[in-house]
Structures are given as structure tokens and as C-alpha cells.
């Protein structure tokens, strides 16, 4: 789960200190209210939701329930290839509530891991905050009550199931449930190709754990401790809980994950082969997925731009943020939502739920403005004929620019947070 703020502030864990007070929590009341709100919209405003389902910002050709029903009819009734008119071959479910529960559990696990990391650096006094909310509760409620999440849920889109599978894979990796992480990642990749990039943060999560300070901080703490011991000065405050051991990569869980993922991949492909055997098999399925998303002319160029451009950012971010695998997963999800061929508001709803930050006023106004202007520009272009495609295209460019600013700001703030921890360790060493 991403954590970015304008100024680095300490986090705290429910079990970090006994002296820490907590504000009263009402998570379940708000979560149930969010579910009831969705049911009210579904059952009492069907006409409005029918119009919402036709919006390209909510339901894309890859996530439309109408395309799903069309493909099923072509396959079962008309004995025609499901890819003849529709390329959607996925199941659907309104899984927002379960996604929020997994977000809550993941946030609590990450918060606890962050607390242990600070203790290992001898910075346990940072955890003595006065009153805090659980970051997992906040992330879950932000996700449930985000208007973009609600629109996606009630707008006849299959995106909620994709979001659920992505969060399921992250949750499984954070909690050490390797089979769960594997099946979540495999199914998320099957539903939408882009979650394949999550293989790197999931590997780092299983290898390093949910959260660990940069290795330099451990080495700095270790060297300071040795120096103090050599001069006969006590280094009790610098002794990490784990014996001053620097974070090491564990290959055992990673190999288990790869084995489980391989088994699930073969199983899913076998089911797909059985299901689409009359429609050309797996070869036709992959061909339609990759080549139906581009224009007929300059196909090779568009394939590179759409599917390869994302890969250029994977390695640099992984090298710099390997000690924060949950935040790395957030960055990858946000980048995929910017560059995928058929973006929707569901993509933003997912990474905004993973992000815990002080949202700047400019970004907030930008997101609100773009989401209000997008349907207006679409109406002027498609229905009224008083505008052209550039009207709608301009809102899409503004939307992408806001997401770029958000990702850059978040990554910069996380790096500043690490520098802040390094300064605290240096100051502590000097004081001792």
C-alpha cells in the first residue's frame, strides 16, 4: 500500500506500544453502509445506471457486461466464435466489499511491519504517537466510498473482479499465503494482461517481507554499534530487535510462489482451451486480445506503444524501491492505469485505495474537474455535434497528466521519507 505525504510523518501499529491511544473505530458500520448504498442505487435507480453503463469512462470494451453477455451468446447459442463481435471472456462480480476487507488486512500487516522496521533501527520512540487511525481502515473506507469505485460497481463493469484479484495477490504476498498470492496474480493476469508486472513487487514482498528500511540504514546502525562497543560505550538503543541483521532476500517463498503460479497458469490455460476449443483455441484467444486493441494501420507501432512502453519503467523503480514492495506495487498499478489501452475510472479507484497520503488541493481539484468535464465533452462530441474528438481527447490528456503528477509526487515523498529515517539514525548515533 502506498504511503505518501507532503511531509514524512511516522506511522504506528496497533501492537507497537502499549501507551499509544486509539480513536474509536467504526469500520464495519461505514463498510456496511457503503454496501447498502450500492444496493439502493442498483434497485431504485435502474434507468440511471443503464445510462452509466454506456459511459466509456466506466465500462470499456474490455470490461463491459454487455460485451460479456454478447460473447457468451455467440459461443453457446449461435455456435459462432466468441471473438467475432466481442473480445470479453471474463466473469464478473461486484467484489468491492471483499476487496476492501483485503485492503484493510493488508494495511494492518504493512503497518505492523513498518513498526518492526523502526524498532530494528532503534527508532521505536517514533511509534509513541498520541492518537492514530489504522491505515488499513482508512484505505478500505476510502476505496469503498470513492465515487469512482461506486460508479464502476453499479455501472455494469467487470473491473471490480479485476481489482479484487489484484488486491488478493498483494494480500497473499504480504501475509505469506503463497498459494493465495499465486492464484490472485494468475487470475488477475488472465483477466487483464497488465497485472503481469506485479510479479516483481510480489517477489520482493515474499523475499524481503512487507516493509524494510533501506539496507544502508541497517549497515549504518551496525557500524555505529560496533564503533560504540569498541570505545566501551553502551549501544543498547541501537540494538535492533532482529539482532542487527540486515534485510536478506529469502528465495524459499519465492520458489514456492513460482511453482504455485506455474501450476495455476497451466490449469487456467487448460480450462480456457476446453472452453474456447470451438472458437479457435488458445491461439485465437491470444491473437484477439493483443490485436483487437489497435488500429488496422501501423499495427506494429501501436503494439509497441501500448504493450511495451510500460516495461521501460519496471526495472528502474524496482531497483530504487525494492525495500518497499507494497509501495512498488502501487506505483506499477498507477502506471498501468495511465498507459493501458482501455483505461477506466476503475483503475484510478484501485490505486487511490492503495494510496495513503495528504492529497494536495491542486490534485484533488484536478481529479474532480476532469471527472466532471469528461461526460460533458463526450456529450458535445458524440450527441450534440457541437464539438469534435479533440474536446474529449483534451480531458484524457489532462487526466493522464494528473496521474503522472500523483505518481511522481508519491515516489518523491517516499524517498524523502527514507532520507528522513536516515537523518534520524545519524542524529541518534551522534547523540550517543
Q: What is the pLDDT of residues 381-400, one digit of tens each?
A: 877 777 777 888 888 888 88
Q: How confident is the model at residue 169 (pLDDT cuts 50, 70, 90)?
A: very high
Span 95-115, average pLDDT: 87
* Residue 204 placed within a domain: yes
- 396 found inside a domain: no
What is the total count of domains within the chain? 1
**Which residue carries 499465486 as its cell?**
182
Contact 242, 188 (CB under 8 A): no
Residue 91 CA to residue 151 CA, distance in Å, equals 19
Q: What is the pLDDT of residue 412?
A: 87
Query: Helix, strand, coil: what percent of the chain each, to 5?
Result: 70, 5, 25
Band (223; pLDDT cuts 50, 70, 90):
low
Name residues whose C-beta falls within 8 Å of residue 92's C-beta, 6 or more positions apart in sequence: 65, 68, 157, 158, 160, 161
Lowest mean pLDDT across 16-20, 44-48, 264-268, 425-429: 16-20
Residue 193 is predicted with a pLDDT of 82
Q: Is residue 220 part of a domain?
A: no
Look at residue 84 and give its three-state secondary structure. Answer: coil
C-alpha cell at 295: 488500429
Task: Map grid coordinates 473505530 to a residue.
Answer: 25
198: left (phi over 0), alpha (psi -120 to 50) or beta: alpha
Q: Is residue 383, in this structure, part of any structural domain at all?
A: no
In the structure, what pLDDT confidence band is assigned to residue 164 with cuts at 50, 70 and 90?
very high
Q: What is the pLDDT of residue 359?
A: 63
Does a structural domain hold residue 95?
A: yes
Residue 344 lies in a domain: yes
Residue span of the structural domain in which 330 resides = 23-212+247-356
Which letter does DSSP use for residue 22 in this model? E
In a domain, 417, yes or no: no
Mean pLDDT of the chain: 75
H-state helical runs in 194-250: 199-208, 215-230
Structure confidence by residue, pLDDT tens digits, 5-29: 444 444 433 333 333 444 446 888 8
Amino acid at each position: 500500500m502506498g504511503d505518501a505525504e507532503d511531509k514524512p510523518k511516522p506511522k504506528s501499529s496497533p501492537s507497537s506500544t502499549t501507551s499509544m491511544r486509539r480513536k474509536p473505530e467504526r469500520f464495519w458500520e461505514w463498510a456496511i453502509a457503503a454496501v447498502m448504498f450500492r444496493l439502493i442505487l442498483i434497485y431504485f435507480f435502474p434507468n440511471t445506471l443503464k445510462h452509466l453503463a454506456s459511459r466509456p469512462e466506466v465500462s470499456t470494451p474490455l470490461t463491459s457486461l454487455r460485451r460479456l453477455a454478447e460473447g457468451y451468446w455467440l459461443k453457446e447459442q449461435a455456435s459462432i466464435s466468441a471473438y467475432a463481435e466481442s473480445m470479453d471472456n471474463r466473469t464478473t462480480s461486484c467484489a468491492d466489499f471483499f476487496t476492501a476487507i483485503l485492503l484493510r488486512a493488508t494495511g494492518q500487516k504493512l503497518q505492523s511491519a513498518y513498526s518492526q522496521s523502526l524498532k530494528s533501527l532503534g527508532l521505536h520512540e517514533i511509534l509513541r504517537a498520541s492518537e492514530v487511525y489504522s491505515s488499513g481502515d482508512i484505505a478500505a473506507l476510502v476505496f469503498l466510498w470513492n465515487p469512482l469505485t461506486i460508479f464502476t460497481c453499479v455501472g455494469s463493469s467487470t473491473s471490480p473482479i479485476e481489482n479484487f484479484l489484484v488486491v488478493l495477490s498483494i494480500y497473499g504476498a504480504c501475509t505469506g499465503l503463497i498459494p493465495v498470492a499465486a492464484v490472485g496474480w494468475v487470475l488477475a493476469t488472465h483477466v487483464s494482461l497488465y497485472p503481469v508486472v506485479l510479479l516483481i513487487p510480489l517477489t520482493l514482498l515474499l523475499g524481503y517481507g512487507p516493509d524494510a528500511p533501506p539496507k544502508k540504514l541497517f549497515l549504518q546502525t551496525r557500524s555505529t554499534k560496533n564503533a560504540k562497543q569498541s570505545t566501551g560505550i553502551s549501544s543498547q538503543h541501537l540494538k535492533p530487535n532482529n539482532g542487527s541483521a540486515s534485510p536478506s532476500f529469502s528465495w524459499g517463498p519465492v520458489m514456492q510462489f513460482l511453482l504455485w503460479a506455474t501450476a495455476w497458469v497451466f490449469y487456467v490455460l487448460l480450462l480456457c482451451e476446453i472452453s474456447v476449443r470451438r472458437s479457435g483455441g488458445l491461439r485465437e484467444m491470444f491473437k484477439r486480445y493483443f490485436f483487437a486493441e489497435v488500429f488496422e494501420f501501423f499495427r506494429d507501432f501501436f503494439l509497441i506503444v501500448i504493450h511495451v512502453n510500460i516495461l521501460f519503467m519496471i526495472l528502474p523503480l524496482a531497483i530504487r524501491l525494492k525495500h518497499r514492495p507494497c509501495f512498488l506495487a502501487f506505483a506499477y498499478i498507477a502506471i498501468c492505469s495511465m498507459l493501458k489501452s482501455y483505461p477506466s475510472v476503475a483503475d484510478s479507484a484501485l490505486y487511490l485505495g492503495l494510496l495513503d497520503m495528504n492529497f494536495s488541493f491542486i490534485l484533488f481539484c484536478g481529479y474532480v474537474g476532469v471527472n466532471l468535464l469528461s461526460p460533458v465533452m463526450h456529450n458535445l462530441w458524440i450527441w450534440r455535434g457541437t464539438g469534435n474528438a479533440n474536446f474529449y481527447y483534451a480531458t484524457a490528456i489532462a487526466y493522464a497528466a494528473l496521474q503522472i503528477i500523483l505518481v511522481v509526487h508519491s515516489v518523491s515523498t517516499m524517498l524523502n521519507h527514507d532520507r528522513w529515517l536516515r537523518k534520524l539514525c545519524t542524529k541518534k548515533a551522534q547523540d550517543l
